[in-house]
């Protein structure tokens, strides 16, 4: 609520300088901006998230576990976004599973998603029982991030590493044949 008030005051002060826009255009801009700021995150415990790791349809899924505080994760996110854009018409879906801390969803995660204009679906995993769910993602996973699962109804691969776009694309291509 406080963030909305700050935004409204900021908007009111800056709108005086934008006299070339009509009142309706400014109002539409304000509503769109407020919707982004108020957008709700999809937050799951592992039981709720698990379905996203086990779809049996005709798509190939690229599921990346990341966090805003993880420098290698942030560095590779543009490659997942690039992959999402390049393969969206080829039955591929990129899912970004944030492991950010719950108390930072509003102050770090939401602004990060907005600032980086993430178009891939962002899911938030809020489940402190890591010793239970990490081996359910993959038995070999130490728990470090970034980590990625690529799967379809026929096969599944797990990677505990960072990717370049080329590396990511090379791992995806065998799933598409």
Q: What is the CATH number of domain 42-176?
A: 3.40.30.10
Coil, strand or helix: which one is 36? Answer: helix
90-134 per-position pLDDT tens digit: 999 999 999 999 999 999 999 999 999 999 999 999 999 999 999
Coil, strand or helix: which one is 61? Answer: strand
pTM of the model: 0.78
Residue 146 binned pLDDT confidence (cut-offs 50, 70, 90): very high
Q: Which residue has the higher pLDDT, 2 or 71?
A: 71
CATH 3.40.30.10 placement within the chain: 42-176
Residue 177 binned pLDDT confidence (cut-offs 50, 70, 90): confident
Percent of the chain scoring above 90 in pLDDT: 77
Listing DSSP states for 85-147 in one string gives: HHHGGGTEEEEEEE---GGGIIIIIHHHHHHTT--SEEEEE--S-HHHHHHHH-TT--S-SSE
């Amino acid at each position: 609520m406080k963030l909305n008030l700050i935004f409204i005051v900021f908007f009111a002060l800056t709108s005086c300088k934008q006299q070339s826009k009509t009142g309706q255009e400014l109002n539409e801009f304000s509503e769109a901006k407020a919707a982004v700021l108020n957008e709700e995150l999809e937050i799951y415990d592992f039981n709720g998230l698990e379905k996203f790791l086990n779809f049996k349809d005709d798509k190939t899924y690229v599921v990346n576990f990341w966090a805003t505080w993880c420098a290698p994760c942030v560095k590779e996110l543009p490659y997942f976004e690039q992959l999402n854009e390049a393969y969206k018409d080829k039955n591929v879906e990129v899912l970004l599973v944030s492991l950010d801390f719950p108390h930072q969803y509003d102050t770090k995660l939401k602004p990060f998603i907005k600032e980086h204009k993430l178009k891939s679906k962002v899911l938030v995993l809020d489940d402190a029982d890591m010793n239970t769910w990490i081996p359910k993602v993959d038995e070999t996973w130490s728990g470090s991030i970034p980590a990625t699962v690529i799967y379809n109804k026929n096969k599944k691969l797990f990677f505990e590493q960072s990717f370049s776009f080329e590396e990511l694309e090379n791992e995806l291509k065998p799933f598409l044949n």
